[in-house]
Amino acid sequence: MQQLLQYLGSGETRLEEVPAPVGRGGVVVVRAVRSLVSAGTERMLVDFGRSGWLGKARQQPEKVREVVRKVRVNGLGATWAAVRSKLAQPIGLGYCHVGVVAGTGGEFREGERVVCNGSHAEVVAVSERLCARVPEGVADEDAAFTPLAAIALEGIDLLGVGRGDRVVVMGLGLIGQLAVRLLVGRGCEVMGWDPSGERREMARLVGAVIPEGVDLVGAVHGWTDGQGAAGVLITASTASHEPVSQAARGCGRRGKVVLVGVVGLLLNRADFYRREVAFQVSCSYGERTHVGPGSVRANFETVLGEMAAGRLKVDDLVTARYAFSEAPAAYDRLTRDKSALGLVLEYGRGLGEIGGAELRLGEPEGHGPLVALVGAGNFGVRSLLPAMMGLDPRPRLEVVVSNQGYHAMLAARQFGGGRAVTDPGAEFAAGSVFLCTRHDGHAREALRYLRAGKSVWVEKPLALLSADVDAVVGAARESGKCLMVGFNRRFAPAAVALRRAVAGRGGKKRFRADINAGRLDPDHWTLDPAVGGGRIVGEACHWVDLARYLVGSPLVSVRCERRDRDGQDGGCFTLRFADGSEAVIDYRTDLPATVAKESIELSGEGWRGEIANWARLRTEGLGGVAWGSRWSKAPRKGHPEAISAFLAASGGQGPVPIPLEEIAEVSHVAIVMQGMREGDCRELTCGSDP
């Protein structure tokens, strides 16, 4: 099938052949009939992509500051490579999609018409929560406006206005025009404001008051007899801070300003103070986690109900129509014609012509063993595959499997792969599988591939439940195949050199890892107990394994010294080993980005070694053992070495990279740590489930 992609690095917008998505639990597969180009959001993305490096920096100064911080910590070379890699990954455009259900196991029936937030593609797979049935009598083209109208509706609901209230809409692009119509239908009196005379006239024709002159605040107070508006909805897109100031000064006592668009946010307290004006930012088209009031589906259904009742008309908002095969031309117009509003894409191919869940690209490049990648997210594509394809001999990437067809296609094409597949049950000849999916699927998928006779690399964690750890380790023993967890740090040159230097030294060891993990978005899937399991089991397990490797003794107890309560899942833990050694892992989420991500220290009687962010190893009392340059900041965390060891073992040409007993031990301990509260202490049974 075809999907429209925007390449942010080059600015090119083009159609790509990608494998079609397949259905799975909670997901609806929809064959496209119409989709709508969002003139605001998508024009902004296209303009960003077509700008040069300096233009990109000017548009996203906060990203520039982030890059500068990373340079200070990781060095210029590593940071520049990361930036180029990120910009090389295109994004799927669009979120206003109408089509026919082609497959589902849930509440939608095959053949039903639905609107969803799917991208511009011939077939999309979206969550059931982000779909709504299109009523009889609502045309496909009209229904395509639903997500944009839902964005306007969410902002209006936050304003809390009703019949007779006077409301100002600032910015009369597509969302602004839809907001005017929804407010008029609600019985509000509306004033519309936009620099474009054409857009002001369009709003006037559907019932908005259009002020004369350029003094918006004065016009609002004149219109309201000095009382001020009940609310102002900002749907404009500009870097200027003036719209928020004007909106606040135009509000009446305890009025409300709701931002739907993208504007400068340098707020002036005085603008809000005198009349106790409230300010709120709207979050797209509604709540995504449920289907009740205020949800995406509820907002979609409200908009569709207004269309079905004839109270919301959108046909005059269509600027032009394009066949989907001509979609790049629509985006060219979007950037040339700033007055363009609704650009509709029409899909003509039948379902039988769309293509299946597999795209063949040719013979895999390389001369090494055949491998498969399951899960083409950021880590797999930006870290694992580059490290893998830098090996000699280079492994041959037989297949990339991903729910997102274009992610699978791009990864396979970039790294010389043979096939891109969206079907998780796809068969392949490769004897080694790299699992980079979300954490809740690791154990299930590892079991399936081990039982199919494959060697399996599982990106940490191995599992979220202790019973699943035992099941996977048991399957590995039974199959005789290699099971590896992505504990790459024990293979890093600095760690290997330090372990070799302390080998044979008696006495207790003291290990300390200070981790600057950073903050995640509160809705990030890693923080979801059911999906990601949490950051301790999902990431802090790295340093449990590193401590186990460097100390070289089984774990016997763990104590939780601190557990953060800011929703970011940080904490500090003390682990004790059978030989009396001790490890402290301080997983911090509240440190500035300028602080190095990792600082590792191992010490004993008369000696000490320190690993500085995996760029340098310095020691005292160990015969001058050192690694790395004092001038280098580029981390080497052991990915190529770990992958090489796994592939050698999988091919019967090397030892097991990590003993199964240690994989099980570390995985069990990380699960215990995830569930601990401050002050908890647990005794562990060496080598078994704690």
pLDDT tens figures, 106-119: 789 999 999 999 99
**Nearest by Cα to 432 from 493, 374, 375, 472:** 374
- DSSP states along 219-259: HHHHHTTTS-EEEEEE--B-S-SHHHHHHHHHEEEEEEEEE
**Position 84 pLDDT exceeds 70:** no
Q: Angle 401-406-407 (CA atoms, 0-180°, nearest 5)?
A: 55
Q: What pLDDT band is residue 689 in, cutting at 50, 70 and 90?
A: very low
Most confident of 13-27, 257-271, 463-477: 463-477
Which of the residue ranges 53-62, 114-123, 181-190, 636-645 would you say has the lowest mean pLDDT?
53-62
Q: Which amino acid is at 560?
A: C
CA distance 534 to 547: 20
**Nearest by Cα to 617 from 511, 492, 498:** 498
Rg (the chain; Cα; Å): 28
pLDDT value, residue 632: 72
- For the whole prediction, is pTM greater than 0.95? no
Between residues 340 and 512, the one the model is more confident about: 512
Residues 6 or more apart whose Cβ sits within 8 Å of residue 379:
436, 459
**Are the C-beta atoms of residues 192 and 216 closer than 8 Å to each other?**
no
**Are the C-beta atoms of residues 487 and 642 closer than 8 Å to each other?**
yes
Residue 546: DSSP 8-state: H
Residues 6 or more apart whose Cβ sits within 8 Å of residue 515:
540, 543, 585, 586, 587, 588, 597, 598
Which of the residue ranges 7-16, 147-156, 187-196 would you say has the lowest mean pLDDT?
7-16
Residue 431: DSSP 8-state: S
**Position 222 pLDDT exceeds 90:** yes
Q: Lay out the sheet containing 419-421: strands in order across.
A: 358-360, 419-421, 396-401, 370-374, 432-435, 455-458, 483-485
Q: Angle 173-183-34 (CA atoms, 0-180°, nearest 5)?
A: 50
> Region 283-309: what's the mean pLDDT?
92
**Position 688 pLDDT exceeds 50:** no
Phi, psi of 358 (to 5 degrees): -135, 140
Strand 483-485, strand 455-458: pairing: parallel
Residue recorded with tokens 């562990």: 684
Q: Packing angle between helix 174-185 and helix 296-308, nearest 10 degrees?
A: 70
Residues above pLDDT 70, as percent of the chain = 92
Residue recorded with tokens 């650009």: 343
Q: What pLDDT band is residue 42 in, cutting at 50, 70 and 90?
A: confident
CA distance 296 to 285: 6
**Position 649 pLDDT exceeds 60:** yes
Strand 91-92, strand 2-6: pairing: antiparallel
**Are the C-beta atoms of residues 94 and 406 closer than 8 Å to each other?**
no
> Region 131-138: what's the mean pLDDT?
96
pLDDT in tens, 582-604: 999 999 999 998 888 999 999 99
Q: Is the dihedral of CA 342, 343, 349, 355 positive or negative?
A: negative
CA distance 645 to 624: 28
Cβ neighbourhood burial of 52 (10 Å; 0-12, 13-18, 19+): exposed
CA distance 688 to 670: 13
Which of the residue ranges 210-214, 462-466, 526-530, 605-609 would you say has the lowest mean pLDDT?
210-214
CA distance 680 to 159: 46
Helix (H) or strand (E) holding 198: helix 197-205
Q: What pLDDT band is residue 438 in, cutting at 50, 70 and 90?
A: very high
**Position 57 pLDDT exceeds 90:** no
**Position 480 pLDDT exceeds 50:** yes
Residues 6 or more apart whose Cβ sits within 8 Å of residue 261:
40, 171, 175, 234, 235, 236, 237
CA within 13 Å, CB half, 219: 17
pLDDT value, residue 435: 97
pLDDT in tens, 402-436: 999 999 999 999 999 999 999 988 999 999 999 99
Residue recorded with tokens 């005794």: 683
> Region 77-98: what's the mean pLDDT?
75
**Position 308 pLDDT exceeds 70:** yes
Long-range contacts formed by 133-137: CB under 8 A, 24+ apart:
133/108, 133/304, 134/98, 134/304, 135/304, 135/305, 135/307, 135/308, 136/308, 137/308
- Chain CA centroid to CA 35, Å: 23
Does a cis peptide bond (omega within 30 degrees of 0) precede residue 461?
Answer: yes
Q: What pLDDT band is residue 531 in, cutting at 50, 70 and 90?
A: very high
Does a cis peptide bond (omega within 30 degrees of 0) precede residue 147?
Answer: no
> Region 162-169: what's the mean pLDDT?
97
Mean pLDDT of the chain: 91
Let me know how many helices (H) and strands (E) the chain has, helices first: 23, 30
Q: What pLDDT band is residue 78 in, cutting at 50, 70 and 90?
A: low
Q: Angle 395-397-400 (CA atoms, 0-180°, nearest 5)?
A: 150
Residue 568: DSSP 8-state: S
Q: Spell out the alpha helix ranges (H) of 264-400.
A: 269-273, 296-308, 327-336, 378-379, 385-389
How many angstroms separate the Cα of 603 from the Cα of each of 494, 504, 574, 582? 15, 14, 15, 10
